[in-house]
Structures are given as structure tokens and as C-alpha cells.
Structure 1
Amino acid sequence: MKHDDHLPDDAVAPDNPFVKHFSDPEAVSNYAEGPRRVVPGLEALHRMTAILLAERVPADARVLVLGAGGGMELQVLAQAHPGWTFVGVDPAAAMLRLAERTIGPDMARVDLIEGYIDDAPPGPFDAAVCLLTLHFLDAAERERTVGEIHRRLRPGAPFVAAHLSFPQGAERELWLDRHVAYPVAMGADPEQMRGAREAVATRLATFSPGQDEAILRAGGFPEVSLFFAAFAWRGWIANA
């Protein structure tokens, strides 16, 4: 389940509105263009993730990907490292079907599971990835999820996380403006992006980079380093 900034008006429903959104056929069919338009440097983020994991994992690494719907990062990781195998977890079945189509022939090395972190195998995994996903979780559930990822990793295994993370004080409104200004500059409809801004401001759990790093450490990762910053997005490499 990934962030594409097109949350419908009924996404405030309590029965997991984000899964509902990412189960919508139109949202799924248009998904591929969303992250590329909204996240500056998305392709570079995927490539850097592959490089960072490769620093510490064996040639036959087993990698856990949480929030695997769509399959974009799985495709890049699988193509970059033919010896790796993957378990991808996502709660939206429609997004997992899209992942299958995106990954294509490399699906022979990928197991996809419909669910959340608790539905992932116990491991141990050689690495884990969670991109454009953790901002859907509040602080307590985010820390718990990070802890469950950590519990499934071998000692010293790398974990890459990237999601919305920007100052939450007096600068918050400015960063929200910047967040939507980028896709508008890339050709997105300004009115649609105004709605997206409201969705991010009121429906997602966003924290400052410092708070996000503290959550990663509280989840069991003592070594946390920032490697990616692009407007309102941040990415970290952490080691179990």
C-alpha cells in the first residue's frame, strides 16, 4: 500500500480507508504514475536502496518488503540482484496483483502475501525494505511495526525505510505547500493537489525527521543514518 496523494472523500471511514482506496480499480490502474510524480527522485531512491542493502547481504539474500503493492521497488531490486529472493507483504489484494504484473518474469523469486507485518513469515531475513508506507501508521503502531520488522531480521541486517517526514512546528504549513508544489510543477492538476494537501495534513501520521529516527531506534535499530531527502520525503538506512 503506497502513497500516491489521491485519497477519496470517503477515505476517512474507520474500516482501513487506505486499503479501501488502494483496492479501487481506477486508483490501481493509475498507480504507476502517482509515486513518480509525487516523490522527487523516486527512481534514484529505488537504486540507492538496492546499493545500501547490497553492502551487507549475501548474494542469495532473502529480503522482506513491507508495503509491496505495485511492485516498483521489488522490480528494481530483483533486476539488480538476480540471486536475491523476496517476500512482499501488502494489505491490498489489487495492489499485489499489480505487483505481479510489474515484476513480470522475476515473480519466480517473489512470494506475495496479503496482510500486514504480523502476516509476514518469522524469518530470519537478510534485509528489509519499507518505502512510502510508514506514514499510514500512527506513532505507536509505527514503532510496533518497526519492532516486528527488526524481530524478523538477522543480527546486523540492513533495513531501508522512506516516507513522508518533515518539520512539524511553525514550518509545517510551508513544507506541506512544498510537498504539493512539486507534482504541480510536474504537470499535476493544481485543484487535485490542493485536495491532496488536505489529505496529507489531516489523514496521515507525519512526524519530524528527528521523531522518525527516534521511532526507528525505539523499534530496535541502534544505527540509523539519513541517506535520502527530497522536499517532504526522507529515507534512512538502519542496521539491526
Structure 2
Amino acid sequence: MHRMTALLLQEQAPEDAHVLIVGAGGGLELKAIADARPKWRFTGVDPSTDMLDQARSTLNAAANRIRYHQGYMDDAPYGPYDGATCLLTLHFLEAEDRLRTLIEIRRRLKPGGVFVAAHHSFSKERQEIWLARNAAFVGTSGIPVEQVAKNIEAMKSSLPVLSPADDVELLRQAGFCDVELFYAAFTFKGWVCRKA
């Protein structure tokens, strides 16, 4: 997914792009894109100081190209940015907070700036089927059955997952256009769009 994201950003971003990474904690996404695009600069935003510290240690070699901001999108640096990503983060937010976050991301993009988002997205009517499929897939990687079951129960009780149609509608309400699905893997969906 990280390599796909870099390619989607590259389609419209200049050679010296400045990219906003929302939910940058841990640094894996930042590292993959920074390694793939050595001339790009990044601003990583995450509410967790501990996760940003982890990202700093993961990205030691690219430290001079990355700025970190501890906090939420409401107080994130304005850029403007050539592109932005938000991977595996939006499914933690209720629809109202998700829309506000998307609006804030869009405000920080240059006109025509590309945005890539990916997260859990499935219809409530088919929730049991998709979560069972997800559990079966995760189980094939050697994770104990009890842990898989616990993770699925946590998803059911605490993640405010929206349907793909609702996710697309929020992107449009936030002011993004040309919304296209680029990734689908069991409960995960990914979209690419741009600032209108």
C-alpha cells in the first residue's frame, strides 16, 4: 500500500514535493515514501508523542527532510502541501470528526493537490461476513486464534467504521473531487482524490 501511495502522489506532485502525512506515528509509511522519493520533504502529524519518537528513530537517515508535529489536524502546519496521506487512521474517527479532519487536510493542500486515504470500510449489513473473512486471513499469518477473535471484537465495539459509499460521500463533502478507489482488501479500502 505504501508503494502504491507513493506512485499515486507522484502522478501530480513535483520532483521537490512537500507531503503531509496524517497519522505519521511509527514511521513506516513515512520511511517507505521517503525512501522511494529522496527529493521530497514531509510533515508528519500524529497525536502521540511516543509514536512520533518511534518514527524519528525509524527515519534517522531522512531526518533532514521530515518535520514532526504532535497534535491533530486542527492545529497542524498549513503548508501548503503538494499531497497528503492518511493511512489506517480515519476508521478511528466518528463521521463528524472524520469530516472535520478531511476538511482540514484539504485546506492545507495546494490547488489540485492529491490526497490518498485508506482504512477499514465496509457496510454494517455485511459486517459479520467481512470481519469473518478478515479474521480468517489474519489467522493464516500465524497469529493465535484467541488474539484474532479479540481484535475482531475490538473492531466491532470501538471502531466507527463507515460504508465505502459513506466514506466517498465524506470525501466529496470535504471538497475533494475525482474520488477513485485504488485499493480493496477484505475490510480495507483506499481512495485517491484531489483538491477541487
Identity %: 49
Aligned to 1:181, which of 112, 124, 136? 136
* More strand by percentage: 2
1:49 equivalent to 2:9? Answer no
Q: How does 1:1-80 map to 2 (within 5 A)?
A: 45-80=1-36
Which one-letter code corresponds to 1:56 in the other structure? Q
1:87 deviates by 0.3
Deviation at residue 95 of structure 1 after TM alignment: 0.7
User: Equivalent of 1:168, from 119, 124, 143?
Assistant: 124
Given the alignment, which residue of 121, 136, 139 partners 2:95? 139
Task: Give 1:191's aligned amino acid.
Answer: E
Deviation at 1:167, TM superposition (A): 2.1
* Runs (4+) off by over 2 Å: none
TM-score (norm 2): 0.97
Cα RMSD for the two superposed structures: 0.8
| Alignment of 1:115 onto 2:71 | yes
The offset of 1:104, in angstroms, is 2.1
Please point out which of 88, 104, 107 is paired with 1:151.
Answer: 107
SS at match of 2:81: coil
Q: For 1:237 and 1:123, how far apart are their aligned partners in 2? A: 20
Per-residue CA deviation, residues 127-167 of structure 1 (Å, 9 max, x unaligned), is 00000000010001101100000000011000000000112
Alignment partners' CA distance in 2, 1:183 and 1:132: 16
Q: How far apart are the structure 1 equivalents of 2:170 and 2:67?
A: 28
Instruction: Report the secondary structure of 1:89's partner residue.
Output: strand
CA positional deviation for 1:119: 2.2
Partners in 2 of 1:101 and 1:153 — Cα distance? 27
Q: TM-score, normalised by structure 1?
A: 0.80
Structure 2, unmatched stretches of 5+, are none
Q: Give the distance between the partners of 2:23 and 2:156, measured in 1 at CA.
A: 21
Partner of 2:167: 212
